[in-house]
Homo-oligomer: A and B are copies of this chain.
């Protein structure tokens, strides 16, 4: 039997609740497809800070590296918001991404027919939206050096960061994006600010050059400000989007909100080799933590991405996705996606309903 080791990083806030549910769903879907999954849980984020003094303990990173995939809940909370940079939960997340070298962040944003009313966009605009944002995750201004605080010629304090991309960093993320587009509707839109930034000019040049290897893909380019508009004006024009770390941070969140159901959206971060990192895109929601109110579906769908992109276990992935669809069809809803006429359930109960249909 195929067997895999998964590191679970429940993290903070609602993280532990949604990861517990997703773990059960993973186990069951795996065993029904003849896949044995072994789990180990490690500390990460604010809870790691409280227990060990750092947001990503060495032991956690080592365990994550040695496993076949990592499933993360959520990190952060008001408690640690004013920490110094190296003691922020977010810093742990950036260290984890860098440590696992997961340079490609895949963030689907699709409007499910059952939830089209949850979007703030008009029904005819939201209906059928199905976008995949491929965000570069281990480069750009998030990691570029030099960075820090300095003094300028007038003796004033400055804060600075460096947006930098190398040719091979661009090529490898573009390649992933072309491949993703190929498995989707064959359209790739590369988003940059090549009318102003040199880093973007190189980006556009490299992406354009790679296009000859993917003659079946329709490549277009768009400036980031226009992309932010077009996502609101007509999101259906997009299939796959590829962009840098910071633009991807902004646009993928905008795209998710367009679907109206952030509590539903998973993500996958993968590298050239080694374990991938899978996590819901929502945050740790400290205000509802521990109240059994969280929507576990984004983490469950992240588990499906883990099976697909992490292990190539397509059948087990599809089983989970079908179970989520069926559970929604049966009318079960957590508070964030509730509408009159559906059945309001908590986090655990939603998990049980999905388990029944897996």
Closest Cβ neighbor of A201 among chain B residues = B159
**A154 vs B171: C-alpha distance when bound (angstroms):** 15
Question: Is A161 an interface residue, CB under 8 A from the partner?
Answer: yes
Q: Which size class do A's interface residues fall under?
A: 35 or more
> Cα distance A253–B154 when bound, in Å?
34
Residues 49-82 of A, flagged 1 when their CB comes within 8 A of B and 0 if not, give: 0000000000000000000000000000000000
Residue A257 at the chain B interface, CB threshold 8 Å:
yes
Taken together as a complex, chains A and B put the C-alpha atoms of A131 and B203 apart, in Å, by 33
Q: Mark A224-239, 1 if CB is under 8 A from B, else 0.
A: 1110111111100000
Please give, as numbers and ranges, the residues of chain B lying within 8 Å of A1 by CB-CB distance.
Answer: none
Q: How far is the CB of A245 from chain B (nearest CB, A)?
A: 9
CA of A96 to CA of B236 in the docked complex: distance in angstroms? 36
Q: Are A156 and B162 in contact (CB under 8 A)?
A: no
Complex: A147 Cα to B163 Cα, angstroms = 9
A251 at the interface (CB under 8 A from B): yes
Whether a CB of chain B sits under 8 angstroms from the CB of A125 is yes
Closest B-chain residue to A90, C-beta based?
A: B195
Interface mask (A5-43 → B, CB under 8 Å = 1, otherwise 0): 000000000000000000000000000000000000000
Instruction: Check if A160 sits within 8 Å of B144, measured CB to CB.
Output: yes
B120 to A234, Cβ gap below 8 A?
A: yes
In the bound complex, residues from chain B placing their C-beta under 8 Å from that of A121 are 120-122, 232
A141: interface (CB < 8 Å): yes
Query: In the complex, what's the smallest C-beta–C-beta distance from A218 to chain B, in angstroms?
Result: 19
Number of copies: 2
Judge if A94 is at the interface, Cβ distance under 8 Å. yes
Residue of B at shortest CB range from A256? B229
The contact string, 1 if C-beta is below 8 Å from chain B, for chain A 108-126, is: 0000000000001110010
How far is it, in angstroms, between the C-alpha of A226 and the C-alpha of B253 when the chains are bound?
7
Q: How many whole Å from A239's CB to the nearest CB in chain B?
A: 19
Are A157 and B167 in contact, with the CB atoms below 8 A? yes
Task: List the B residue with the shortest CB-CB distance to A152.
Answer: B166
Proximity string of chain A (251-262) to chain B, C-beta cutoff 8 Å, 1 when within and 0 when not: 111101110001
Which residues in B have their C-beta under 8 angstroms from that of A211? none
Q: Is A232 a contact partner of B257 (Cβ separation < 8 A)?
A: yes
A253 near B233 with CB under 8 A, answer no
- Taking CB atoms, residues of chain B closer than 8 Å to A250 are 224-225, 228, 247, 250
Quick check: B162 and A160 within 8 Å, CB to CB? yes
A200 in contact with B257 (CB, 8 Å): no
Contact B249 A232 (CB under 8 A): no
Contact B162 A161 (CB under 8 A): yes
A198 at the interface (CB under 8 A from B): yes
Check A142 for interface membership: any CB of B closer than 8 A: yes
Partner of A253, one of B90, B198, B229: B229
A193 part of interface (Cβ distance < 8 Å):
yes
Q: When the two chains form the complex, which single residue of B201, B231, B246, B256 contacts A193, counting CB atoms closer than 8 Å?
A: B246
> Is the CB–CB distance between B147 and A198 below 8 Å?
yes
Tell me whether B120 and A202 are in contact (CB under 8 A).
no
Cβ-defined contact, B161 with A85, below 8 A: no
Q: Given B166, B193, B232, which contacts A232 in the complex, CB threshold below 8 Å?
A: B232
Bound: A229/B120 CA distance, A? 11
Partner of A167, one of B85, B156, B200: B156
Ordered by A's residue number, 15 sampled pairs between the chains whose C-beta atoms are within 8 Å are A120-B122, A120-B233, A122-B122, A148-B198, A157-B202, A158-B164, A158-B202, A159-B201, A159-B203, A161-B163, A161-B197, A162-B162, A228-B253, A229-B256, A233-B257
